[in-house]
């Protein structure tokens, strides 16, 4: 059995074990992974070093889920849920569509730690605050009141670019919160799940963005004058 195949089998076993202990304290997880890896190395060194030997070693260790269940019991952690449930998926999708409802669902779900719920809840309002403050700042430094670029009488181009970038970031804040929630699902689902959830959210958010940009009179292009303020209106209206 070549070294690469061996590593692949061992790493696969340890990865499954790690995934089952995703919500365990990092030190406890690391310790168990280290102990089990050390066990496999010892047993391998003493074995005939064929693929069948390695499979027997892993089989005698027990299923990663069973081993993790033992560790979870010792740590006083609840048994993990198997896959993302309807409530969790609904929470993520609704965070994109209408974030107050989505985040409410997230708080009802047991699939996130309180810390993660707090972070996800802070993201959309902070994004909104960012857009509003930038819009306001851009408006004040605009043609009416002369700001840093007051000598020429208009909003400086870099400020407009900055304003629009931040405004877009603010618009995407609920999407960021949804992606964060998908990422912090516990126990962590596979990559395909995360991609599916985040992808759905991204498509929905893009559709909403396109819809609003088309609804703008000038097609959404940044114009001189009060354009950033219009962005703020876009954010507050839905």
Footprint of other proteins (CB under 8 A): 28, 31-32, 34-36, 38-39, 41-43, 45, 60-63, 66-67, 70-71, 73-74
What number of CA atoms fall less than 13 Å from residue 126's CA on the CB side? 10
Name the residue nearer to other proteins (CB basis): 61 or 126.
61
Neighbours of 79 (CB within 10 A): 10
Angstrom distance (rounded) from CA 229 to CA 224:
11
What is the maximal distance between C-alpha atoms in the chain?
Answer: 83
Q: Provide, rounded to whole angstroms, the least separation between the CB of residue 5 and other proteins.
A: 19
Name the residue nearer to other proteins (CB basis): 36 or 177.
36
Name the residue nearer to other proteins (CB basis): 52 or 66.
66
Q: How far apart are the first and last CA of the chain?
A: 61
The residues near 189 (Cβ < 8 Å, ≥ 6 apart) are 83, 84
Q: Provide, rounded to whole angstroms, the least separation between the CB of residue 189 and other proteins.
A: 24
Q: Provide, rounded to whole angstroms, the least separation between the CB of residue 222 and other proteins.
A: 58
Q: Provide, rounded to whole angstroms, the least separation between the CB of residue 119 and other proteins.
A: 29
Q: Is 215 exposed, middle or buried (0-12, 13-18, 19+ CB in 10 A)?
A: exposed
Name the residue nearer to other proteins (CB basis): 38 or 50.
38
């Amino acid at each position: 059995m070549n070294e690469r195949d061996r590593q692949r089998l061992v790493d696969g076993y340890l990865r499954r074990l790690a995934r089952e202990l995703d919500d365990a304290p990092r030190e406890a997880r690391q310790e168990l992974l280290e102990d089990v890896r050390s066990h496999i190395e010892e047993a391998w060194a003493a074995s005939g070093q064929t693929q069948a030997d390695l499979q027997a070693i892993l089989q005698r260790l027990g299923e990663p889920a069973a081993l993790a269940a033992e560790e979870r019991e010792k740590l006083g952690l609840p048994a993990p849920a198997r896959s993302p449930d309807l409530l969790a998926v609904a929470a993520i999708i609704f965070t994109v569509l209408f974030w107050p409802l989505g985040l409410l669902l997230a708080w009802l779900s047991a699939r996130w730690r309180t810390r993660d719920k707090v972070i996800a809840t802070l993201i959309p309002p902070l994004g909104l605050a960012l857009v509003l403050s930038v819009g306001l700042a851009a408006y004040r430094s605009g043609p009416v009141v002369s700001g840093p670029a007051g000598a020429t009488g208009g909003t400086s181009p870099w400020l407009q670019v900055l304003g629009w970038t931040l405004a877009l970031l603010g618009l995407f804040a609920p999407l960021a919160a949804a992606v964060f929630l998908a990422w912090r699902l516990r126990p962590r689902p596979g990559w395909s799940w995360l991609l599916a959830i985040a992808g759905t959210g991204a498509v929905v958010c893009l559709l909403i963005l396109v819809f609003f940009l088309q609804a703008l009179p000038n097609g959404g292009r940044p114009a001189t004058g009060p354009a950033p303020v219009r962005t703020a209106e876009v954010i507050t209206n839905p």
